[in-house]
Structure 1
Amino acid sequence: MGSATGVAKANQPSGSGISAGDARAIAKEAYIYGFPMVMNYQTMYKQAIDKNSPDFRGDFNSLNSAKSVATPDDKFVVTPNSDTPYSYVWMDLRAEPVVITMPKIEPNRYYTAQLVDLYTYNFAYLGTRAFGNDGGKFIIAGPGWNGPTPAGVKSVIHTETQFAYGLFRTQLFNLADLASVNRIQAGYHAEPLSSYLREPAPPRAAPVNWPKPSDDMSASPTMFPLVNFLFQFCPPDPSEKDLLVRFGRLNIGPGRTFDFSSFSPEIQQAINDGIKDSDADVAVVMKKINTDAVSSGDMFGSRDFLKDNYLYRYVGAKLGLYGNSKQDALYFGYFLDARHQPLDASKSSYELRFAKDQLPPNKAFWSLTMYDGKSQLLVANPLKRYLLNSTNLSSYEYGKDGSLTLYVSRNKPATAKESNWLPAPDGPFYCILRVYLPGEAVLNGSWKKPQMQPVQGGA
C-alpha cells in the first residue's frame, strides 16, 4: 500500500530469523495495537475519502451534520447513540491547523466535540464539560505547528497525529426539539487557520494514495500493511520505542513493508494464530465488564490516561468505536442477565428496575439503548423507539414505592407498561446504559447499575 508522501522505507528485516512462537506472540500484540487504528481508518475512508460511500460526510476540513439522531439505517460505526444528533469533521492538519467554532447555547443543554487522533485516543474535548456552553473558537493543530495564538481564539489544542476526527454530539430533548438542535449544528464551523486569518494559504500537503479497506481487513493479516501506511501520519511516541522494535521483527512499524507472502508457511500460520489468540484476551476483559470490574471509563481516554493499555483500547474499539472519556460519559453494558446468561429476547423477556432515588446521578442525562447482538446496530421496530432516557422521565409509569421498571422484550407488553417498553429483536441483543456528565457516585463506583432480570415464562 503506497502513498505519494515520499516517506522513506526503513531497512527491512526478512523475518526469517524469528521463531513461530515469537511470531505468534508479536502478531497478537500488533493486532491488538493496530485494530483501533484500522477501524478508525475505515470510518475516515467512508466519511471523508470515498465520495461514493453512503456514509460520505464531506471532504477533509469540512464540517457536516446529521439532521436527526441515528437509526437502524446508520451503519458508519457500531453501537451508535441515538440521543444526540452527530456532526463530523475529519481534519487534515499537515499543512496548517483547523479552527473550530462552537456556538453559544442555552446552559441546560449538553453539547460536546470529542477530538480523536489516528490511534483513537481522545486527546481533547470542546463543549459543556471542557469549556462550558458559551462557545468560542479553538485551534486544532498537528504535531509540527507552533505558531502564535491569534486574537479571538479561546484555546490552542495539539494532537500527536497529522489527521484527527472531531465528533460532535448535541443533546436532543425530544423530537419537537429537533429544529433547535439543527440551529445549533448550523453554528458549528471548521476552517483552515489561513481562512480564519484571511491570509494566503500555505502550500498544500502532498496528495495521498489512500488504500481502499477490504471487508476482512480488521480480522486478518491484511490489516498490517494498513497499520504501516498509517504510521507515516503518526510520529512515533517515545514510550513505544521498544514496542515498535519488537513489531519490526514482523516488518510492522513506521517505514516498513509487511508482505505476508514473504513468510514461510509456518510463520504465516503463527501470525494467523496470534490474531486468533486475541479472542481469549477479549474474553478475559468481557468477564470483567460483565462483573463491573472494568467499565468504559477504563477503555477510552487520552494516551496519558490509558498508559499504554492497548488491550483496553482494543476492546473499547470492538464494543463501540469513539466511546467518550469517562468525564463526559460512562457506558454500562448489559450483555448478560442477572443469572449470567446471554441476553436473548427469543428466549426471555427482561425487567430493569431502578429503586426510588437510584437512577444514575448525572449533570446532563442518561439513556438505555437497544442493540442487535449480531450487527451491533440499532434495532428496527414499529414504534421507532431505540432507547429510553431521562429526558422522558415524566412519560413513564412508576411503582407505588417510587421505583422505575423498564421492560425489555420482543413483544409489546400490556398497555400499562408500554410507556416503559424498550423493543428488542427476536434473538440476541445487548443494551448500553449511557450516563452523560456522570455524577461523582457514578465516577467513583459507589452507584451500582441494577441487573437485567429475566421474566419467568416471558419471551
Structure 2
Amino acid sequence: MAILSTRSAIAAAALLLMLSVPAQAASEPAAKLPPGPVAGTSLPQSYVHNLAKMAYIWGWPMVNIHNRHMVFSKVPENGLGDGVLPVAPLNRLTMLTDYIQPEERAVATPNQDVVYGFGILSLEKEPVIFQVPDFGNRFWVYQLGDQRTDTLGGAGRMYGTKPGFYMVVGPDWKGKTPKGVRGVYRSSTNIAYIIPRAFLDDTAEDRRAVQPVVSQILAYPLSEFDGRMKTRDWSKIPKLSDPAGGKQGSGAETQWVKPEAFFKELPAIMKEVPPQRGEEALYAWFQSLLDAAAKDPAVADTLAKAAVEADKEMMTEMHRYSRAGVPVGNGWVAPMNGAEFGTDYYSRAAAAKANIFVNPRRESAYYGQEFDAGNARLNGANAYTITFPKGGLPPVNGFWSLTLYDDAHFFAPNEIKRYSLGTKNKDLVYNPDGSLTLYVQNARPAAGKLANWLPAPKGDFELFIRAYWPKAEILQNNWTPPPVQKASAN
C-alpha cells in the first residue's frame, strides 16, 4: 500500500502542476528567434568590407560545390573530361579503371592508391540509387557528402556495408523506400556528391582483378531502378572536353570559386543550403549584406573587392597543409573533423581549399608535412629520409601511403611515374632491424634503394600520409608520423 500511496501522490502533484500552468502556455509555439538586422540600416564601408571577408570564408566551400554542380549539369554522357577526369551527367557517376592520371587538376591532393569514381547529385529531381558490388577482401569506401562537404553517413568495408542497392535522398523527400534497397542516406542539401574508392595494388594482376568489381559500381536515378545489378565497361567510355572549360595538366586546381563573382553567387547558396540548427542569426547577418548590395552599387562593389582581398590574403594561406589541421608532432599536421565540420567554418574552408573531398577521420586519417626535422622547407635541392621503426607503420585496418605533391598539391612529374609509396607496393625493402626507410629526393638513388624511392621535383614540395580505416592508436592520437630527416643523396 505504501508504494501505491507514493505513486498516487506523484500523480496528484503532476496534475496540480499542469493545472497551475496558464492555458496559453500549453499551446504556445517554440520560442521565436530574436530580431535580426534592420533593413535599410546605413552600413559603414569598413563594416561591410570586414563582414564580407567572414562571409567569404563561410560560403567558399558551398560555392565551390555549387559551381561543380553547374559544370556537371552540362556533361552530356559518362566520360573522361580531357581524357583524365571521371565526369558524368547529374545523378550518375563515372568510374576510372586505374589510378587517376597525374594531369588531373579538378581536385587537389588526389589519391594514387585507389580506383576512383565521381558523381554530382541533384536530389531535387529524384532520389539516386547506387550499387555496391561484392568487394571480397578488397578495401573500399564510398564517400557521400552534401553541399557543405559534410558526410551523409558511412558506406564501406569498415562499416560492414553489404553488397546491394542503396539510395540517396534529398532533405524534403517523403517517398517509400523501394523493395530491394538496403539503406537510405539523406542529404541535408539537394546538391550532393558520391565518390567511390576501391583499393588497388600496384600490380598488373590486381589491375585485372579489380575490373569486374569496378564494372558494377554505378549510380542512376531512382526511376531507372529495377532491382537488377547493372554493369558498365568503364574502359570503353568517350573522352570529353574538360567540362570546366580549362586544360588539365598544368598549374593549380581548377578555379571553382572566382572571388569577383562570389557575392553574385552567394544568394543562390543561401537558398540551396538551409541553416544548421543555430545558424539562423548567421544567415540573417550575411543576408543583410546581400540586401544592402542589391540596393546600393557601392556596397556591391565593396563586397566584390573584399572577396578578392580575402581570397588573396586568407585562402592562399589556408591552402597550406600546415594550416589545415592540428599539429601532432614532428612537423606533421592532421585535420581532426574532416567531413564533419559542424560550425567549424575555418576547418571546412581550409579543407575545401587544400583537399576538398576529405573523408571522415574514422574512414581516413591524413597528415600533411611541408618541413624537415630542422624546420626548413622541403625542396628538391635536398634529399630526405623517412624511417618508420619496426612496428611503427601507420596503424590501419585498410591501407596507408606516403604521397608527394608539388606546392599546388598535385603530383610532381618524374621519370618513373611514381607518386606514392605504401601498402600498394609489394616490393618495398625493409632494413635488417625491421624498420622501413623511404628515400625522398630528386636524383635517382642507388639500385638498392630504388624500390623505396619517392621522386621529388627540383622545387618546393609537400608530403602527405593517408591512413585508411585507422586503428585506435590514430583515432586517439597516440601515433605520430616519423620526422623527415635531411640526408645525403645517394
Same fold (TM over 0.5): yes
Match of 1:28 in 2: 53
Q: Judging changes above 3 Å, is the alpha-carbon distance between structure 1 residues 42 and 175 closer, same or farther for their aligned structure 2 residues?
A: farther
Q: Which moved more, 1:27-36 or 1:260-269?
A: 260-269
**Match status 1:286 vs 2:322:** yes
Q: Which has the larger radius of gyration?
A: 2
1:423 to 438, 455, 458: 455
Q: Show the 5 A alignment for 1:62-101.
A: 62-101=92-131
Counterpart for residue 339 of structure 1: 374
How far has the Cα of 1:153 moved from its partner?
1.5
Between the aligned partners of 1:367 and 1:86, the Cα distance in structure 2 is: 16
TM-score (norm 2): 0.78
Partner residue of 2:240? none
Establish whether residue 173 from structure 1 lines up as the match of residue 173 from structure 2: no
Aligned CA distance change for structure 1 residues 441 and 267 (closer, same or farther; 3 Å): closer
Partner residue of 1:228 out of 257, 267, 285: 267
Shift of 1:31: 1.1
Give the C-alpha shift of residue 33 in structure 1.
1.1
Unaligned regions of 5+ residues in structure 1, if any? 1-11, 199-210
2:472 pairs with 436, 440, 459, which one?
Answer: 440
Shift of the alpha carbon at 1:22? 2.1
In structure 2, give the amino acid aligned to 1:234. V
- Return closer, same or farther for 1:25/1:88 CA change in 2, 3 Å cut-off: same
The 1:451–1:44 alpha-carbon spacing in structure 2 relative to 1, beyond 3 Å, is farther
Listed as ranges, the gaps of 5+ residues in structure 2 are 1-36, 228-242, 247-253
Secondary structure in structure 2 of the residue aligned to 1:323 = coil
- 1:298 maps to 336
Asked whether the equivalents of residues 42 and 213 of structure 1 are also in contact (C-alpha less than 8 Å), the reply is no
Deviation digits for residues 148-205 of structure 1, max 9, x if unmatched?
222221111110111210001011022321122222111112222232259xxxxxxx
The reply to whether residue 105 of structure 1 matches residue 135 of structure 2 is: yes
1:180–1:424 Cα change, 3 Å = same
Please list the CA deviations of residues 12-34 of structure 1 after superposition, one character each: whole Å capped at 9, or x if unmatched. Answer: 99887222332233122111111
RMSD of the TM alignment (CA)?
3.1
Tell me, yes or no, if structure 1 residue 377 matches structure 2 residue 410. Answer: yes
Amino acid at match of 1:298: M
Please point out which of 174, 177, 183 is paired with 1:155.
183
Structure 2 equivalent of residue 241 of structure 1: 280
CA distance in 2, matches of 1:212, 1:383: 30
Q: How far off is 1:232 after superposition?
A: 3.1
Map of 1:241-390 to 2, 5 A cutoff? 241-251=280-290, 261-263=297-299, 272-278=308-314, 282=318, 286=322, 289=325, 291-292=327-328, 296-302=334-340, 306-345=341-380, 347-373=381-407, 375-390=408-423
Letter in 1 for 2:50: A
Separation in structure 2 between the aligned mates of residue 225 and residue 153 of structure 1, nearest angstrom: 40
In 2: Cα distance, 1:266 partner to 1:156 partner:
44
Alignment partners' CA distance in 2, 1:232 and 1:212: 24
Q: Give the match for residue 213 of structure 2.
A: 184
Query: Could you tell me how far apart the structure 1 residues matched to 2:294 and 2:214 are?
Result: 42
**Alpha-carbon distance between aligned partners in 2 of 1:284 and 1:73, rounded to the nearest angstrom:** 21
- TM-aligned CA distance change 1:81 to 1:39, over 3 Å: same
Letter of the 1:396 counterpart: L
- Of the two structures, which has the highest relative contact order with CA contacts closer than 8 Å and spacing of 6 or more? 1
Aligned 8 A contact 2:404 2:419 in 1: yes
1:265-324 alpha-carbon deviations (Å, 9 max, x no partner): 76765555455553597399936847327954424123xxx2300100111111111011
Q: Quote the Cα distance in structure 2 between the aligned partners of 1:159 and 1:282.
A: 27
Q: Structure 1's 364 and 327: CA in aligned 2 closer, same or farther, altered over 3 A?
A: same
Deviation per CA, 1:367-423: give whole Å up to 9, x if none: 1111111x321121121111101232x512222221110000111111111110000
**Is the contact made by 2:323 and 2:350 (CA closer than 8 Å) also made in structure 1?**
no
Q: Distance in 2 between matches of 1:415 and 1:178?
A: 26
What's the % identity of the aligned pairs? 28
Please tell me whether the aligned partners of residues 290 and 333 of structure 1 are also in contact (alpha carbons under 8 angstroms). Answer: no
Q: Which residue of 2 aligns with 1:410?
A: 442
Paired with 2:410 and 2:43, the residues of 1 have a C-alpha distance of 41
1:14-66 alpha-carbon deviations (Å, 9 max, x no partner): 88722233223312211111111233234444445355953461211222111
- Secondary structure class of the residue paired with 2:181: coil
Q: Distance in 2 between matches of 1:400 and 1:190?
A: 48
1:419-445 alpha-carbon deviations (Å, 9 max, x no partner): 100001110111111000001101111
Q: Number of aligned pairs?
A: 424
Q: Distance in 2 between the 1:443 and 1:415 partners?
A: 37
Does the aligned pair in 2 maintain the 1:27–1:275 contact within 8 Å?
A: no
d(CA) in 1 for partners of 2:258 and 2:178?
45
Contact 1:16 1:263 (C-alpha < 8 Å) held by counterparts: no
TM-score, L = length of structure 1:
0.83
Whole-Å separation in 2 of the counterparts to 1:188 and 1:422: 31
C-alpha distance 289-150 of structure 1, shift in aligned 2 (>3 A): closer
| Counterpart Cα distance in 2 of 1:352 and 1:328 | 24
1:426 maps to amino acid: K
The structure-2 alpha-carbon separation of the partners of 1:370 and 1:44, relative to structure 1 and needing over 3 Å to count, comes to farther
Per the alignment, do residues 270 and 369 of structure 1 end up closer, same or farther by CA in structure 2, a change over 3 Å counting? closer
Give 1:261 shift: 4.5
Q: Does the 8 Å CA contact 1:13/1:248 hold for their aligned counterparts?
A: no
CA distance in 1, matches of 2:399, 2:52: 41
2:145 alignment counterpart: 116
